[in-house]
Amino acid sequence: MSVTSMATTSPASSQRFSPARRSNLYFVWRGVLGDPVARIAAVIIFLLVLCAIFAPYLAPFPPNEADPALRLQPPGTPGHLLGLDHQGRDILSRLIYGARLTLLSGVVPVILGAAISIPLGLIGAWYPRLGEVVMRVMDVFFAFPMALLAIMLAALMGPGLGNMMIALVVTLIPYNTRVVYAAASQERELAYIEAAKAMATSDLKILFVEMLPNVVAASVVYSCTIVGAVVITAAGLSFLGLGVQPPIAEWGIMTSEGRSYVFVAPHIAALPGLAITVLVMAFNLLGDSLRDSLDPKTRLQLVKHRAAPSDSDEGKA
């Protein structure tokens, strides 16, 4: 091959397969598709979301319909697959309806926290002096463990779904801000940002057009890994009476109500506890896969795998 042909083909090849040309979201997506464990976790989460959405059509009974004559009946009772609780309410129906608030209290605070944290982290990384102030404020929140801070805030504001959501959002902001700040600080030093500066691109456009697509992947990955912890924290707040209040169906409340009957009817607390465990494990496994997909070694393997068929085609040509 001549020097001229090498000069003409090499840049095109490097552009086609250069990891820098692809958003981090591409590697996140490809990494999940290539991981069977992540696919299983995603299917579990998807099925739970479907149960929450179509609860009125899937649940055999209304969540608060009670039959005192059948209270504390075990799983397998005719007409009640998973048994009944201490008030005679169908546990399967309450689990299906409870998926709504359990998912809501785990996912919504994470989304709202990320929506606040991403601009904070980006602006803090772009303006170092402002970033120092932002991160020092976040360090104050880091002095408290996540669960303890959420309990303190919920106790100050009082019980209820809205107050619990606010407490969880405030608790999550420092963690996600630190992740975005670190990712944005690395992106700030890369060549494409320097090129944007040289072209006199406005700071706002650099932050939210050039940098955001690559930084948001780190926030998405962290958000998925933290959902499990948020679900447990929200369930714990409901368990302590600081979150959703009875008789609303929610897995944390169901576990709390069943603790008084753990020796008489253990299924009342065990079944919602098992549901929480499955949900948390699914989010944790999905989050682990997302985190691995941003690993440089994994990214290089994805790029090589994508490049291999094209190289073979070029050889045949």
49 burial type by CB count under 10 A (0-12 exposed, 13-18 middle, 19+ buried): middle
Q: What is the mean pLDDT of residues 290-305?
A: 58
Tens digit of each residue's pLDDT (9 = 90 or more) over 230-269: 999 998 898 888 888 888 899 999 998 888 898 999 999 9
Assign domain 35-60+82-295 to its CATH superfamily.
Answer: MetI-like (1.10.3720.10)
Q: What is the 3-state secondary structure of the chain?
A: CCHHHHHHHHHHHHHHHCHHHCCHHHHHHHHHHCCHHHHHHHHHHHHHHHHHHCHHHHCCCCCCCECHHHCCCCCCECCECCCECCCCEEHHHHHHHHHHHHHHHHHHHHHHHHHHHHHHHHHHHHCHHHHHHHHHHHHHHHCCCHHHHHHHHHHHHCCCHHHHHHHHHHHHHHHHHHHHHHHHHHHCCCHHHHHHHHCCCCHHHHHHHHHHHHHHHHHHHHHHHHHHHHHHHHHHHHHCCCCCCCCCCCHHHHHHHHHHHCCCCCHHHHHHHHHHHHHHHHHHHHHHHHHHHCCHHHHHHHHHHHHHHHHHHHHHC
Structure confidence at residue 142 as a pLDDT band (50, 70, 90): confident
Question: What pLDDT digit, counting tens, does each position of 174-232 carry?
Answer: 999 999 999 898 888 888 888 888 887 888 888 888 888 888 878 888 888 899 889 99
What gap in Å lies between CA 127 and CA 189, rounded to an integer? 13
Whether residue 10 is predicted with pLDDT greater than 80 in this model: the reply is no
Q: Specify the pLDDT at position 200.
A: 79
User: How many other β-carbons are positioned within 10 Å of the β-carbon of residue 58?
Assistant: 15
Domain ranges of the chain: 35-60+82-295
Average per-residue pLDDT for the chain: 82
One-letter amino acid identity for 163? N
CB atoms within 10 A of CB 308: 11
pLDDT of residue 116: 93
Per-residue pLDDT tens over the stretch 146-184: 889 999 999 999 888 899 999 999 999 999 999 999 989
Least confident of 1-15, 25-39, 124-138: 1-15
What pLDDT shows up at residue 312?
44
Contact 22, 306 (CB under 8 A): no
- State the angle between helix axes of 91-126 and 267-293 in degrees (0 to 180), rounded to the nearest 10: 30
Spell out the residues 6+ positions from residue 146 whose beta carbon is closer than 8 angstroms to its own: 171, 172, 175, 229, 233
Q: What is the tens place of the pLDDT at every residue in 68-118? A: 988 999 999 898 899 999 999 999 999 999 999 999 998 999 999 999 999
The closest alpha carbon to 257, from 103, 132, 94, belongs to 94
pLDDT at 281: 93
Whether residue 134 contacts residue 286, with contact meaning beta carbons closer than 8 Å, is answered with no
What confidence category does residue 7 fall into, taking pLDDT thresholds of 50, 70 and 90? Answer: very low
Q: What is the pLDDT of residue 16?
A: 37
| Rounded CA separation 236/222 (Å) | 21
pLDDT digits (tens, 9 = 90+) for 32-70: 666 788 889 989 999 999 999 999 999 999 999 988 988
> Helices 91-126 and 36-53 sit at what angle, rounded to 10 degrees?
120
